[in-house]
A and B are shown apart, each in its own frame.
Chain A
Amino acid sequence: MTSVGSRSLGERKLPPYIPLLFPAVAFMVLMYIWPFVSSVLQSFLVGKGQPSLANYVKVWELYRKDIVFTFGITLFNTALTGVVAVIFSVYFRIRQNRISALLSAIFKLPIFIPFVVVSQMMNSFLAPHGLLNTALAQLGIVNLEKPLQLFNFAGLSFGFAWKQIPFAVLIIHGGFQMIDNSYIEAARSVGAKMPSIILRVLVPMNKSSIIVALVLVYSQIIGTFTLPYMLIGGKVPTTITVDIAHRVNYFRDFGVANALGVCSYIMVLFTAAYYLRSKIREARQEVSG
């Protein structure tokens, strides 16, 4: 009698994961999903809520150069990061000596430095009379009367590369370490030279971690506000993130800001889809395995 009673009580009780998950899920719905959906909806509204494409017309008229600039800097830096990070990761995988150990320790530093600090560093380092220009002038490479102007595409790329290449190396090198030495030895025993071992054995076997690194780098660069804001600010051309801040801070124009936001969503659509799909697949495998 008591056992039946307690069981039916148990059946009426909520499954335990509901109260455990509820606070986090509720918080995310209120603080993330709602504003996210609202950013998309509001980009199609003007005035007191009439549906319109006026915000996008304004984006096209005022900011198409910045959209191209953002896309350009993102593609350029993702490609640069990809090439350089793969080269260094391969180097760290193949050469294990004191020099490579030192190098890989130095490479860890930028990863852990927050973007806001990186921005300030670059702000002083890349300035017309900053440390980079004066150092290059000492070497006779730069004339300080005409210093390198770096608060633009070049300097922004330097900043992104400085921070993102070590981050990509961390992920990609992790992937290379999973590849057993026997594969390299097998390729070598059939007469393969190092370049072809790298291109035809190591890189293909590590494709997934290279793609993950590049997907993360790509979407981070598009979404980064601090570095372009502190380095380029309102100069033209600048990035979408800076434009959004100007639209909001100077004009309280949330419609155009949101339309710019949707443009940045569209730019990451493919990388976001790839990221979400691979993470969900990974989580499912962990559950079943």
Chain B
Amino acid sequence: MNRILRKSAELALLVLVFLIVIGPMVSLFLWSVAQKWYWPHPLPQAITFDYWAQALGLKTSLAIGAVSIVSAFTLSLLIAAATVVIAMAIAIPAGYALAKYKIPFGTIVLFLFLLPNAFPQQPVFVNILQLFTRIGLAGTVPGVMLIHILVGLVYGVWITNATFRSIPPSMEEAARSVGATAFKAFYRISLPLAAPGLFSSAVFVFLTSLDEFTGTFFIGLPFINTLPLTLYSSSGYNMQFASVIALILLVPSVLFMLLIQKVLKAEYVGGMG
């Protein structure tokens, strides 16, 4: 009897948690296909995939709202790609140096890459806006990219650092002892061993850029409309488009994070977007 009671309590908990977690996502999906949805109807009265078609560039109809998603999507992907390349080019050497060398003032360097996680970043973005306005970078793609690199670099350095730390130094020392240069030892030994970690780190930086909102809001608006900013600006008047964009952002985030979560420390994944 006790057992049955406990099992049904567990099942009730499962259903409740399932509904709470899934409810907002269902709402998003229903809105993305809702043609007509007036209360008090619990479900949309008419369904259409026109918003998806238009969002993906398969259809152009002014009747359902002329939100340009294709261009925003392309821009977001380009910014994210460039951000990954630049951020990783800076992060990999730094992560490697922090892992392999005894560095005087090493604590201060560590501090530098920890601070953005410890304090709210929004005031920093506000002051970067002031600086960028002075030098003409505000409202430009390079300006937005610099912000995304800032956000991604911190994670990039931490993840690559942890990756290189996990490779025993004896491997490179062995290569050096048979005459390899420091660069060759790194290139032929550490880099291939670190490849999965570096790849995960690059994926993570890509996602932080794709989902970045706050920094882009200050630096990019009103000229640079990435996907998250288009989501924000359409959410006020076109629920369907906002929901389509939200789902377009949601799917890659969840899929890739599930793929790379094993390599990431839990605490990295909380502050995205």
- Tell me if B124 and A116 are in contact (CB < 8 A): no
Least distance between A113 CB and chain B CB atoms (Å): 6
- Tell me if A120 and B246 are in contact (CB < 8 A): yes
The answer, among A27, A130, A174, A271, for a CB contact under 8 Å with B27, is A130
Q: Is B110 an interface residue (CB 8 A)?
A: yes
A32 and B112 in contact, given A23-B93, A164-B270 (Cβ under 8 angstroms): yes
Question: How far, in angstroms, from A234 to B195 measured CA to CA in the complex?
Answer: 46
- Tell me if A109 and B96 are in contact (CB < 8 A): no
Question: How far, in angstroms, from A112 to B97 measured CA to CA in the complex?
Answer: 30
- Tell me if B124 and A35 are in contact (CB < 8 A): yes
Q: Is A275 an interface residue (CB 8 A)?
A: yes
A137 and B30 in contact, given A25-B94, A114-B272, A254-B130 (Cβ under 8 angstroms): no
The answer, among B96, B116, B214, B243, for a CB contact under 8 Å with A20, is B96
Least distance between A268 CB and chain B CB atoms (Å): 6
- B94: chain A residues at CB < 8 Å are 20-21, 23-25
The answer, among A15, A24, A276, for a CB contact under 8 Å with B157, is A24
- Tell me if A108 and B40 are in contact (CB < 8 A): no
Number of interface residues of B (CB under 8 A): 93
- Tell me if A230 and B235 are in contact (CB < 8 A): yes
Question: B residues 131-179 with Cβ under 8 Å of A?
Answer: 131, 146, 149-150, 153, 157, 165
- A220: chain B residues at CB < 8 Å are 270-271
Return the chain A residue nearest B28 by Cβ: A121
A111 and B123 in contact, given A28-B153, A103-B13, A124-B31 (Cβ under 8 angstroms): no
Question: A residues 151-187 with Cβ under 8 Å of B?
Answer: 162, 164, 166-167, 170-171, 174
Question: How far, in angstroms, from A162 to B273 measured CA to CA in the complex?
Answer: 15
A268 and B40 in contact, given A27-B150, A39-B124, A226-B214 (Cβ under 8 angstroms): no
- A283: chain B residues at CB < 8 Å are 110
Question: How far, in angstroms, from A260 to B123 measured CA to CA in the complex?
Answer: 8
Least distance between A195 CB and chain B CB atoms (Å): 15
- Tell me if B21 and A110 are in contact (CB < 8 A): yes
The answer, among B97, B115, B239, B273, for a CB contact under 8 Å with A115, is B273
Interface string of A116-158 (1 = CB under 8 A from B): 1110111111000111101101100000100000000000000
- B28: chain A residues at CB < 8 Å are 117, 120-121, 124-125
- Tell me if A225 and B122 are in contact (CB < 8 A): yes
- Tell me if B111 and A125 are in contact (CB < 8 A): no
The answer, among A28, A106, A107, A171, for a CB contact under 8 Å with B266, is A171
Q: Is A191 an interface residue (CB 8 A)?
A: no
A279 and B114 in contact, given A24-B94, A225-B214, A248-B126 (Cβ under 8 angstroms): yes
Q: Is A102 an interface residue (CB 8 A)?
A: yes
- A280: chain B residues at CB < 8 Å are 107, 110-111, 114
Question: How far, in angstroms, from A35 to B24 measured CA to CA in the complex?
Answer: 37
- B17: chain A residues at CB < 8 Å are 103, 106-107
Return the chain A residue nearest B100 by Cβ: A17
The stretch of B50-58, B60-68, B249-257 in contact with A is B249-257
Return the chain B residue nearest A102 by Cβ: B14
Question: A residues 37-82 with Cβ under 8 Å of B?
Answer: 38-39, 42
Return the chain A residue nearest B210 by Cβ: A114
Least distance between A81 CB and chain B CB atoms (Å): 11
A116 and B228 in contact, given A24-B94, A27-B150, A99-B10 (Cβ under 8 angstroms): yes
- Tell me if A117 and B127 are in contact (CB < 8 A): no
A241 and B122 in contact, given A16-B97, A20-B94 (Cβ under 8 angstroms): yes
- Tell me if A124 and B239 are in contact (CB < 8 A): yes
Question: How far, in angstroms, from A20 to B115 measured CA to CA in the complex?
Answer: 20
- B245: chain A residues at CB < 8 Å are 120
- Tell me if B24 and A162 are in contact (CB < 8 A): yes
- Tell me if A134 and B254 are in contact (CB < 8 A): no
A113 and B250 in contact, given A24-B91, A28-B153, A134-B40 (Cβ under 8 angstroms): yes
A124 and B243 in contact, given A99-B14, A280-B114 (Cβ under 8 angstroms): yes
- Tell me if B40 and A258 are in contact (CB < 8 A): no
Q: Is B46 an interface residue (CB 8 A)?
A: no
Return the chain B residue nearest A120 by Cβ: B246
- Tell me if A265 and B101 are in contact (CB < 8 A): no
- Tell me if B25 and A112 are in contact (CB < 8 A): no
Q: Is A237 an interface residue (CB 8 A)?
A: no
- Tell me if A265 and B21 are in contact (CB < 8 A): no
Q: Is B117 an interface residue (CB 8 A)?
A: yes
- Tell me if A167 and B119 are in contact (CB < 8 A): no
Sorted from nearest, which 8 A-B pairs have the closest CB atoms? A114-B273, A261-B123, A223-B120, A114-B211, A24-B94, A35-B127, A129-B39, A112-B257
A-B contact pairs, 27 of them (CB 8 A): A17-B101, A24-B153, A32-B112, A34-B127, A35-B123, A35-B131, A38-B130, A99-B14, A106-B18, A107-B21, A108-B261, A109-B254, A114-B207, A114-B272, A115-B213, A116-B213, A124-B31, A131-B27, A144-B39, A162-B20, A162-B24, A170-B269, A171-B267, A216-B270, A230-B235, A248-B126, A248-B218
Known: A258-B123, A261-B122, A271-B118. 7 other contacts (CB 8 A): A121-B24, A124-B27, A124-B243, A223-B119, A226-B273, A258-B126, A280-B107
